[in-house]
Amino acid sequence: MLTRASSPDIIRFGLDAFPESGADDGTARAVEAVFNNAQGMRTSKEIIETAFSDIISPRDVWSVTVCTYRGDSIRESFSKMTSKRLGYMEDTYEFFVIANESQTLQNYADFHALKYRIGAGRSGRRLYSAEEFSKRQREVHEMYLLLCEYCNSQRDDTDFYSRTSLWMKRQYLLMLVTDWVTRLPAADQDKGYTAIVETWGAADAAIMLFDPLIARGESLLSKNSIPPGNDEFYRWGQILAKIVPMVDDGRNLPRYDQYRQLEQALEHHVAEIQLKEQQALQAEQERIEAQARFKKGTLMRRVIDKVMPAGSLNRDLVSVIRSHAQRAKRER
């Protein structure tokens, strides 16, 4: 039993997940596995490290709503936050500051205090328009700048906060490109990515595109089929081709060479499949033609056997004439 003296700054509980708006039971169980994983006590920097780095796997969640907080501690944390209105993914910023300002966090993941209805929130599981996606990614970028501002205000262990804010940037980019892939219709993806380039810059926009682009290419490479010309790999590659000239022709882009090698491997893979298909088609055509010739030859032979039976004078006479004709042809 907790007393006021022993009460931690944060208590994190577990949850039960219920799928809604098209979510399935598999997704719900996966969410429960993530949220109900953490055990034990976290102290000092360990609180922020276990949620905002790859120091452990799986990481602790950064959800604000699965926690309760000691009053004076949470009030102090919120006093350190921006007074500006936050938008999409605001809980990442909030929990970052709370985790950094707190000294103790106790996990009670076995006690499921929250009923989480997946798909019932602001985002749901619906598709976005290009305009809505553009607005949300701007909100995330503004929040990232506020997070960097908070990190820069910390006077101790500046290297740690620099690494952590950079790690969060990668997470934001990863979450945004996941939304871009799964929530934007194909017709709006080009426009949506233009917004990312304008907000985050060409280099970050290119880097975040490599994950889905390379994953799609590797998937195609594992299949024994020719992808259609409008496949995601080709569409996304065209978007990347517009961005690369803005970033020193790709020479300073991590994974650009990997993408180019994959692109060439896929071209070779498709060429091999096309060659095999052509060879199979040609072999089938030759089989059909040979079968037709066989049927035609069989019919003619039946006619000859009927008119000139084997052993008849006419049949023998034809054989003699054919033999003389072949000999004369050879002697020419």
Q: How confident is the model at residue 3 (pLDDT cuts 50, 70, 90)?
A: very low
Take residue 91 and report the two structure tokens written for it: 């809980």
Instruction: Establish if 63 belongs to a structural domain.
Output: yes
**Distances from the Cα of 56 to the Cαs of 37, 49, 51, 127, 219, in angstroms?**
12, 9, 9, 33, 29
Of 190, 305, 178, 187, nearest in space to 241 by CA: 190
Q: DSSP letters of 140-198? A: HHHHHHHHHHHHHT--S-HHHHHHHHHHHHHHHHHHHHHHHHHHS-HHHHHHHHHHHHH
Instruction: Establish if 298 belongs to a structural domain.
Output: no
Instruction: Establish if 36 belongs to a structural domain.
Output: yes
Asked if pLDDT for residue 1 goes beyond 50, the answer is no
Q: How confident is the model at residue 312 (pLDDT cuts 50, 70, 90)?
A: confident
Instruction: Establish if 25 belongs to a structural domain.
Output: yes
Take residue 165 and report the two structure tokens written for it: 């804010």
Take residue 108 and report the two structure tokens written for it: 């009670």
Average pLDDT rounded to a whole number, residues 56-62: 89
pLDDT at 289: 77
pLDDT at 298: 65
Take residue 40 and report the two structure tokens written for it: 């034990």
Is residue 103 classed as helix, strand or coil in its secondary structure?
coil
Give tens-digit pLDDT for 200-257: 999 999 999 999 999 999 999 999 899 999 999 999 999 999 999 998 766 678 899 9
Number of domains in the chain: 1
Is residue 112 classed as helix, strand or coil in its secondary structure?
strand
Instruction: Establish if 90 belongs to a structural domain.
Output: yes
Instruction: Establish if 233 belongs to a structural domain.
Output: no
Average pLDDT rounded to a whole number, residues 187-196: 96
Give tens-digit pLDDT for 22-38: 677 888 899 999 999 98
What sign has the CA pseudo-torsion 158, 160, 164, 167?
positive
118: amino acid identity, one letter:
I
Question: By mean pLDDT, which of 77-91, 104-118, 304-318 is the weakest?
Answer: 304-318
pTM above 0.75, yes or no: yes
Average pLDDT value for the chain: 88
Q: Which helix (H) or strand (E) holds 11?
A: strand 10-19
Parent domain of 122: 1-126
Q: How confident is the model at residue 103 (pLDDT cuts 50, 70, 90)?
A: very high
Instruction: Establish if 17 belongs to a structural domain.
Output: yes
8 A C-beta contact, residue 14 and residue 68:
no
pLDDT at 293: 67
Instruction: Establish if 79 belongs to a structural domain.
Output: yes
What sign has the CA pseudo-torsion 102, 103, 107, 112?
negative
